[in-house]
Structure formats: C-alpha cells, structure tokens
Structure 1
Amino acid sequence: MSTFKKLSAKAEEANASLAQAFKEWKDENISRREQLAINKENELRTLKIDIDQKLKEISDLESRRAFRKISYILCFIFGALPAFFLGLLVSDVGPSVEGYESVTATLPSEGGKEAPARSAGSSYDSSPSELGICVQRGVEYFKEIGSYPTLRAPPEAGRAAETVAEERCKRSLSAFGSP
C-alpha cells in the first residue's frame, strides 16, 4: 500500500496545486477587471472635468452676450432717444416755410455757379405744366385699371384718383412712367 499512499499523496498535492493555480487565476482576473474599472472611472472623471470646463465657458459667453445686449440698450436709451426728443422739440418750435418740403443743398457746378442738388425724379423744381402732365398720366392710368374717379384697391381705397395722382407726382414726376 505504500504505492497507493504515494499516489494518493501525489494526487492530493496535485489537487492542492490545481486549487492554488485556480485561486491565482481567479485573483488575476479579478485584479484585471478591477484595473479596467479603475481606468474607466479615470476616463469618466476626465470627461466630467472637460464638460464642466465647457459649461463654464458657455456660461461666461452667455453672460458676456447679455452684458453686450444690455450695453446696446443703454446706448440706445441714453444716445438716440434724447436726440430724438430734442429733434421733436426743435422741429415743433422752428419756423415752417410754406412750399418747401425739405431743405435743398447747393452744389458747385460748371462755371462757378451753384446749382441745387436733386435726386432723380424729384419735383420740387418742376414747372406746373410738368406736374399737370404727370397728374394727367396718373388719371389715365387709373381709368385704364377701372379705378376712376374713386380708387378701389387698398391702401388708397375710397380716395379721389386725381388727389392720389397729384400726391404721387409731387413725390416723383416719373410716378406714372416717363413723359
């Protein structure tokens, strides 16, 4: 029986070393998994820090944008509105000249004489006959579209065709085509 005891002892020794190897393998897998988990935690921590930094940058940009909007509003309130109200006050107090809708600038022309500056189609320097011709073209136009003597289409609905034609011709002699 001595061989049997030897074999039994060797079998027990082999089982013990197999159990030890299995335990080491298990411990190694656990430590590898733990290391992977630790690496993932570090990655997530880094991502959280990056996200927090981006959120802070966005917050700073939004606060700067809000400050800029507020400064634009304040500039408008303290810059434009007083000038607007002063302009209203001055225009109400100042004398009005009949026959002139606006002040015209004079520009130097050939020969050293000054000539009034004019825009294309302006009628402030037109003769009464040119204005009458333009109004006549306007009346003819309104007759052609079937809107005479009273206009039917908005925004001028219900108004006299001659009056509307005269207003438009005073703004521009080419309101109803060129002569």
Structure 2
Amino acid sequence: QGCRRPASMEHHPPHSGAHRHGWPGHELDQDLTHAHSEITNIVDQLRQRRDEPEPEAASLLRESRRSRDAEAAIEGLRHEVAALRDRQGELEGNMTKAAIDGLRHDIAALRDRQGGLEAKMPRGDLDALRRDVAALRERQEQQPKAIDALRDDISALRKHHERQAAE
C-alpha cells in the first residue's frame, strides 16, 4: 500500500493480493467475494436439506426400513420353517416306515405264536382264555373310575382330619 504501481497496471487487478485497497476494482471485488460467500452458503444449505430429509419424511423412511427388515426376517423364518417341515417329514417318513415294518414283524410273530398256542389248546380252554382276556379288559376300563373314587375318599378323609385338627 505504500508502494505505487506502475501506470500500466493501475486499471488492471493484480494477479495476487486481489483484495488490496487502492486499486479501482476493490469495492467490486468485495461485492463479488460477499456474493460468492452467500451463494456458497445457500448451496451448502440446499445440499444439507437434500441430504437430511424432513422429520416426517425421515420417520417414514425409518418405518419403511424397519418394515423391509421385518419382511426380510419373516421371509427368512418362512424358509427356516419350510426346511424344518421338510426335515420333519423325512424323519417321520423314515420313522414311520421303520416303525410300521417293526410292528408288522411283531404282529406276524404274535399271530404265529397265537396260532401255535391255539392249535395246542383244547377248544374249551381257548374259549375260557378269551373270556378271561375280555374280563381283564373290562376291569382295566373300570380302573380309572375306581381310582377317581379312591381319590375322592382320600380328599374327604383329609378334610375330616383338617376339621378335627382345627377343633
């Protein structure tokens, strides 16, 4: 500022130090710098608004993401359930076949044994044995009723003893 420029440079802005006082475009340069700063601020604000959705939009966006995450989790669970059902079907199929084969074998063996016993037994004894089996089955069916009656008796005795103890 203490130095004077050569006359040939007085009307041209210098290449460096453009904000220096003393040359004719100084005020224009300040106005341009200020305008550039304002434009930069506006652009930054617009970018920020673009990058940060409004609160309602942000809330909807979060809900949408949660919904997609939940849908993905549900779909994953559906695949797992389907795989487990397939595996269960395989196991049941294998177990059922093995169990059926085993039962068929056992039934055949029992029929053979029954046939052998029936052949050796006199007809009267066989009929008596069948009656005994029928009587045993009937008694077996009556057992739950007898057990319930015994439970009722035990409950009544407990109540009776509790009353006596209270007196």
Greater C-alpha Rg: 2
Q: RCO (CA 8 Å, sep 6+): is it higher in 1 or 2?
A: 1
TM-score, structure 2 as length reference: 0.38
TM-score, structure 1 as length reference: 0.36
Report which of the two has the higher share of helix: 2
